[in-house]
Amino acid sequence: MAPNPPKPNKEKTRVPLRRRRRRAPPTQACACLTACAHAPPPLQLSRARVGLRLSVLVPSENLSTHVQNGVPAPEEIPKKASQAIMASTQAAKEERIKYMQGDLFACPVTDSLAHCISEDCHMSAGIAAVFKKKFGGVQELLNQQKKTGDVAVLKRDDRYVYYLITKSKYFHKPTYDNLQKSLEAMKIHCLKNGVTHISMPKIGCGLDRLDWNKVSTMLEEVFEDTDVYVTVYTL
């Protein structure tokens, strides 16, 4: 009687089968999430997605909190700073000229004074006649030999008195160009001598008939970016 054949080793036959299942293509192994042993549970997958979404939303929530609390976003800060600088500059320009009603010669003794005259220093009418009577110095002014577009200066006590020469003869009329040149000359003297406040009438707008709107704009432009401030006295 022939001997029985040896039984096959079941473990040896299962190993290759198990290897074949592991090497199966992903499309076959993960075709169905419920049947695939390698797929994460549905609950875990949804949690992972929710966590990812929260991590993206957190920065935007922080920015919205800044806006709600009234704090500007970082990109808005330069814009607001620029607006503040412009507002400050505009305020400084508006305060360049102040207006006072009353006697010009009652201004603070630390203020310098200014008005317009002619080259001949005639000063026989208007506010010029008052300057002539109060401060004198006609010959001293003539000795300076200033021409139209210049400024003659007298020193009285602790202040300067500026004589803006805007025409050649007392019966002439000044031009805006000559007035601006005289103002520029006065500005140079102010900067060199530390003058910061000047009191004056509405220069060139009395007997000389210039337009104060144009003259005041000229004053603002001439003394822009300086520490010189003007007080205009009216009766």
- Catalytic amino acids? 167, 208
Residue 232 to residue 235: CA distance in whole angstroms: 10
The one-letter amino acid code at 154 reads: L
Alpha-carbon distances, residue 16 vs 11, 22, 77 (angstroms): 9, 10, 69
Distance CA 124, CA 105 (A): 18
Q: What SS3 class is residue 38?
A: coil
CA distance 220 to 222: 6
Which of 150, 137, 142, 148 lies closest to 172, judged by CA? 148
